[in-house]
Structure 1
Amino acid sequence: MSERDITPDEQIHITNFLAKKYITKKDNIYKFNSKYRAGTLGLVQKGTAYLNVIGENIRDLFIDEGDLGNAKEGDLIIAQRLLGKRGTPSAKIAEIVGRAQSYSVAYIISKDGRKALVDLKTDYPTGVELTQEEINAYDFDDVLKINNQENSIMEKLGNLKDPLVDEKIVLAQFNKHDEFDEEVLKIATSFEAVDASKYPKRVDLRKLAFCTIDPVTAKDYDDAIYWDDKNTTLFVAIADVSEYVTPFGTIDNEAIYRSFSIYLPHRSIPMLPRQLSETLCSLQPHVDRLAYVFEMKLDLVSLEVTESKVYEAIIHSQRRFNYEEIDEFFEGKLKAKNSSEREVFAWIKKLRPITDALKIKRLKIGYDFRSNELEMEIDKNSNIVSTTFAEETPSHALIEDCMLLANKQAAAQYSRGIFRIHEPPSQTKLQLLYQELAGIGMSIDIKNSIKETITDIQNQAKEMDLEAEVDTLIIRSQMQAKYAPLNSGHFGLGFEAYTHFTSPIRRYSDLIVHRLLKAINNNDTEEGSYVLRNIEALSMTISEKEREASTIEVEFQQRKFARWANENLNKEFKARITTTEPEYKAEIHDEIMGARLFITSAENAVLFQDVNVCIDKVDIAKAKIFAHVVKGSDVQG
């Protein structure tokens, strides 16, 4: 880090780190001493963890049992490298410099006949000092947001008995909020509608029959596509957010803080103000929109991109389709209503066999994982109406391979920037996976490559009708994909280099990639270096924010399931055992799908057995459902 980027508040820590020899200073640049690294602690499993190291081209460090101290997942750590130790690069914790949980949620319970304030997830005291009189001002089950740095109450969120408080709980733990500051909204509403005459340098693509294909509930349309069959050229047009959101401006600062849009069953918490995300930037149909476009010429024999270029353009989408409509078209159930739809359907029909072939080619090296994505519908009172597992259809596959192609091309444009990396799994994790699968009767044959071994496992899973379940186990055995300033490949996709280019409305990483590509195209080295300043810390930050957004989305669903289960105590449901070590867990596959259960009595059930369970009790505060396997239930191995 450059000395000029350090604030007075940060200088205190810099001086401290210099004194402890964690860092060194040379030519007004601060760097870590070779013996030390900083990073965030990854998932803690059986007393061990990996440190997600901040920096360029530096592998994550393994922290063994006994070297963790009292560090928790997500904490910011200074670690001392254990040099000379054979095997996986490892380290021990030198200092915890920041806790992952700056905010938490607490509630009022009865303890020893008196009211007490305890953490919602642990039931431990919060550290907030309150008089009994202050506590008595609250009702039992009142839910409060806590500032852990100051050990103070920030606000009352509601009461645990009210299902509407669930959303506030999951957002409060990471200090997320929907509202934007007045200054941010003022800037967002100040932009004028797109006037093509004001952008003479942009490539005018308004005559091309672009369309968008998104979920039926989508409001923010990041991407539009067009296939020029005559010239075998794919156009992927992406919302040009960087035209409106400038580096280090007011909107940009808020976008960095959020880094991702969050999608709950009933609404979204956007990264950008809705005036941009759902209107001006969104590639809506029948209006002119600014876009950043990858134009890629394909060789239909090799399926390689032979030429590609990226440029600023203006497009005019002809139609907004949802996935179901395109699937109906592929099935011959949807006909064009007008000439523009006829034109779109004509090129989509020709594009599909090409994207199908691209997928077949991709999966020869990369992986095809079937992990069930849960879709939940809730009513106005925030209770579950229904749940289903989403299935990938031809329309999803078509869009996915178009986006993968653009993302891959973007990553090929630079050597330092934002990459989406996914490291191969460790041999230790693979051995644990193989042991687990052998336990359900699979014959594990170690092939010449991980790819061949995993493919053989997936083929066996298909025969056993356990594709999604086994794929979930395989995914768990892998390293977590993340953002990094230098490329180290993407194991899951099988790509040598990959990034995120196609969703700048909802992911901050993509906005950085757009800015960098524009600087490169304009030979603007000053702007390029400006974009890349502190790129290591930014990569780590957006990786953390991604995990936060995912946690919020999953935890919200679990809270809804807990409330549903509480209304169905002592009732029996069909379920499948999903975990046997270190404890039994199951997932309901019945009128409601996807609710996770802690099994109190399993009757010797084995992994992936289908069983009948009876719901015993529910902990609404912790969103945990407890059940037992019913004796004599009809299990199918």
Structure 2
Amino acid sequence: MKSLLIRLTHGLSEQDISKDELPYVNDFLAKKYITEKKGIYKFNSKYRAGTLGLIQNSTAYLNVIGENVKDLFIDDGDFAKAKEGDLVIAQRLLGKRGAPSAKIIEVVGRAQTYSVAYIISRDGAKSLVDLKTGYPTGVEIALKELNSYSDGDVFKVNNQDYTIMEKLGNMKDPLVDEKIVLAQFNKHDEFEPEVLEVATSFKEVDASKYPKRADLRKLPFCTIDPVTAKDFDDAIYWDDNNTTLYVAIADVSEYVTPFGPIDNEAIYRSFSIYLPHRSIPMLPRQLSETLCSLQAHVDRLAYVFEMKLDLESLEVVKSKVYEAIIHSDRRFNYEEIDAYFNKELKAKNANEVKIFDYITKLRVVTDKLKEKRLKIGYDFRSMELEMHIDENSNIVSTTYAEETPSHALIEDCMLLANKAAASQFARGIFRIHEPPNQVKIQKLYQELAGIGMFIDIKETIKETITDIQKQAREMDLESEVDTLIIRSQMQARYAPINSGHFGLGFEAYTHFTSPIRRYSDLIVHRLLKAINSNDTAEGSYVLRNIESLSMTISEKEREASTIEVEFMARKFARWAEQNINKEFKARISSTDPEVKAELHDEIKGAKLNITSSENATLFEDVTICIDKVDIAKAKIFARVVQKDID
């Protein structure tokens, strides 16, 4: 329903209405919520769709969906029986003084279609309560059925009709954590038979079948990825004689056609999800890990950006993007390339000699590119947490992954290709990052001043932040301060019209380099192919619902991120439950509005809710004692028992 309402906000083409959506469209049309003109259905200007926000003192705000506008004020008496979190249609109250306001006309569903609930015993009676709120779910269960369940039994709930969809397991079992985080957003690993049938129908690449593609199989491409990677989106080659970088990207669009079974599932998923022990792919593994993946020693279809650089200005002076066939000579992991840079790894054969030769020369170029980029954009040092779990789904260890020279080399190659792609169109899918909100920036300055930093407000935010980062390095708080800076920024998102990328300092940016795991990149590939072939009809076809698609993909990105973060939080809670009353090293990570800390011990990264701490100072090192753990909500409660003094 939410997707339908977003598309109706921007204009929904008649041919894009599914059978399931048609009754709603006809109903809205009859009630005059929407209008129809030349086969395009769109909300009447009087009406808005949204989710009902926090209700306080018989008033609330409607969080409008589908467009970036201010929330609408909902006064007492204008709720129409809607509850917090409901998905509603509202009528704007025009001409009314004060903040823009509206009244709710109809409740059309719940903002969160699915939720997770579990059985608890309270006052001698069993109840099914929402995992996040602890409140009863509203699901009607016969007393006999309710009593047949055990305490801690976990269920997936459909919030539209308040019914139980399936039993996920029991809260005592660590293996239920994965099912919980996926069920919240109705994510699943399995693909429908129709999707798998198409995915398995493709044959191995036969170069003779693609005479129009550029044959780049003689170029010594290589891939550089994490050691655990199975899907290889990108391969690179640097032609030093012609100062030309080739970035070859898996040509997913050759296999995944618009509105086919695989495409429909890919739109729904929009992103691959990466958990510590496995991934939930956007595309069937027959494509993501095999036919589309740029594996070594096999022919693969690729979409290639060829970019000639001026080594003085470090600008791309000439670029072109085209369909090609490549044959990657070597699959490297980051550790191998770093070992080579540290003179700890030597070439094993003639092909590796060629690759290491151009990788060495390319590193000089990418180091300079990064240096130039950071004069405008930001260099954030927030470290990515890596968690390792055993076969029983319990934590074995956690570490922080740090950027190494091999990571930096690949990053700047991909940034260059993404920038080049964004320069090709005026309307499409851009990756935008707006300048920060001044209120958040001022709060950041106040927090940092509280730990003894001198905040020297300079002519630009960039100069001020750079000075703050310099002080953070001197205080050995680089990653902590960078995390605060990132929190003060606007969230990057996808949009059909470019407005620049503040964090990177780029005038235009998009995502082109990961179509195996991001749907946005697949759309960009389709659009560029239409532009290059002067196919205006195909270009219009690709862009038909681009506004709603951009918003939907942005939302799906947040869902994927939430799943990944919440899964780790659940693992940390399991670990903490086994360590109640034990003491550990931690660092205060927040003091306002609540005191929180982050574990900095043998196990790193767990977020702690501090219940007792006098005069806690931001980034202060402390010893904490774990007091209590809420497994259902994945929250750890601890108290400070000692302030650590160097």
Q: TM class, shorter-chain normalised? A: over 0.9
Q: Pick from 252, 263, 277: which aligns with 1:266?
A: 277
Task: Tell me if 1:421 matches 2:432.
Answer: yes
TM-aligned CA deviation for residue 109 of structure 1: 0.9
TM-aligned CA deviation for residue 366 of structure 1: 0.9
Q: How many residues align?
A: 629
Cα distance change of structure 1 residues 415 and 359 upon mapping to structure 2, 3 Å threshold? same
Distance 2:526 2:305 in 1: 14
Match of 2:447 in 1: 436
Unaligned runs of 5+ in 2: 1-11
Q: Pick from 629, 634, 637: which aligns with 2:644?
A: 634
Cα distance change of structure 1 residues 465 and 38 upon mapping to structure 2, 3 Å threshold? farther
TM-aligned CA deviation for residue 272 of structure 1: 0.6
* 1:574-607 deviations in Å (ceiling 9; x for gaps): 0001111111110000000000000000121111
TM-aligned CA deviation for residue 99 of structure 1: 3.0
Distance 2:582 2:430 in 1: 49
Range 18-27 or range 338-347, more displaced: 18-27
Read off the aligned partner of 1:285 and give its amino acid letter: A
Q: Pick from 571, 591, 597: which aligns with 2:602?
A: 591
TM-aligned CA deviation for residue 372 of structure 1: 1.9
TM-aligned CA deviation for residue 633 of structure 1: 3.0
Match of 2:202 in 1: 191
TM-aligned CA deviation for residue 131 of structure 1: 1.1
Match of 1:341 in 2: 352
Task: Tell me if 1:458 matches 2:469.
Answer: yes
TM-aligned CA deviation for residue 78 of structure 1: 5.9
Read off the aligned partner of 1:494 and give its amino acid letter: G
Match of 1:611 in 2: 622
Match of 2:7 in 1: none
Cα distance change of structure 1 residues 491 and 526 upon mapping to structure 2, 3 Å threshold? same
Are the equivalent residues in 1 in contact too, given 2:74–2:103 (CA < 8 A)?
no
Match of 1:54 in 2: 66
Task: Tell me if 1:237 matches 2:248.
Answer: yes
Q: Pick from 158, 165, 182: which aligns with 2:176?
A: 165
Read off the aligned partner of 1:434 and give its amino acid letter: Y
SS at match of 2:235: strand
Identity of aligned residues (%): 75
Q: Pick from 409, 420, 425: which aligns with 2:420?
A: 409
Task: Tell me if 1:216 matches 2:227.
Answer: yes
SS at match of 2:643: coil
TM-aligned CA deviation for residue 32 of structure 1: 4.6
Match of 1:358 in 2: 369
Distance 1:260 1:156 in 2: 26
Distance 1:50 1:480 in 2: 21
Cα distance change of structure 1 residues 442 and 75 upon mapping to structure 2, 3 Å threshold? farther
SS at match of 1:517: helix
Task: Tell me if 1:501 matches 2:503.
Answer: no
Cα distance change of structure 1 residues 162 and 7 upon mapping to structure 2, 3 Å threshold? closer
Cα distance change of structure 1 residues 365 and 49 upon mapping to structure 2, 3 Å threshold? farther
Cα distance change of structure 1 residues 455 and 48 upon mapping to structure 2, 3 Å threshold? farther
Cα distance change of structure 1 residues 278 and 110 upon mapping to structure 2, 3 Å threshold? same
TM-score (norm. length: structure 2): 0.92
Cα distance change of structure 1 residues 396 and 532 upon mapping to structure 2, 3 Å threshold? same
* 1:251-307 deviations in Å (ceiling 9; x for gaps): 111111111000000000001111100000000000000000000000001111001
TM-aligned CA deviation for residue 50 of structure 1: 10
SS at match of 1:252: helix
TM-aligned CA deviation for residue 7 of structure 1: 4.6
Mapping of residues 268-307 of structure 1, within 5 Å: 268-307=279-318
Are the equivalent residues in 2 in contact too, given 1:37–1:81 (CA < 8 A)?
no
Task: Tell me if 1:116 matches 2:127.
Answer: yes
Distance 1:258 1:366 in 2: 31
TM-aligned CA deviation for residue 3 of structure 1: 3.7
TM-aligned CA deviation for residue 529 of structure 1: 1.1
Match of 2:8 in 1: none
TM-aligned CA deviation for residue 61 of structure 1: 3.1
Read off the aligned partner of 1:275 and give its amino acid letter: Q
Distance 1:465 1:93 in 2: 53
Cα distance change of structure 1 residues 94 and 433 upon mapping to structure 2, 3 Å threshold? farther
Distance 2:86 2:550 in 1: 15
Match of 2:492 in 1: 481
* 1:5-45 deviations in Å (ceiling 9; x for gaps): 3356545544665677765544443445556665679999x
Q: Pick from 463, 467, 477: which aligns with 2:478?
A: 467
Q: Pick from 155, 159, 179: which aligns with 2:166?
A: 155
Read off the aligned partner of 1:119 and give its amino acid letter: D
Cα distance change of structure 1 residues 437 and 32 upon mapping to structure 2, 3 Å threshold? farther
* 1:215-261 deviations in Å (ceiling 9; x for gaps): 00000000000000000000000000111110000111111111100
* 1:330-363 deviations in Å (ceiling 9; x for gaps): 1111100000011000000000011011111111
TM-aligned CA deviation for residue 63 of structure 1: 6.4
* 1:459-514 deviations in Å (ceiling 9; x for gaps): 11111111111111111111111111111111111111111000000001101111
Unaligned runs of 5+ in 1: none
Cα distance change of structure 1 residues 225 and 620 upon mapping to structure 2, 3 Å threshold? same
Are the equivalent residues in 2 in contact too, given 1:41–1:73 (CA < 8 A)?
yes
SS at match of 1:284: coil
* 1:392-411 deviations in Å (ceiling 9; x for gaps): 00000000000001011111
TM-aligned CA deviation for residue 528 of structure 1: 1.0
Distance 1:101 1:385 in 2: 33
Distance 2:210 2:530 in 1: 18
* 1:115-170 deviations in Å (ceiling 9; x for gaps): 21111122111111011100122111111111111111111111111111111111
Distance 2:506 2:153 in 1: 50
Distance 1:237 1:295 in 2: 8
Distance 1:359 1:50 in 2: 43
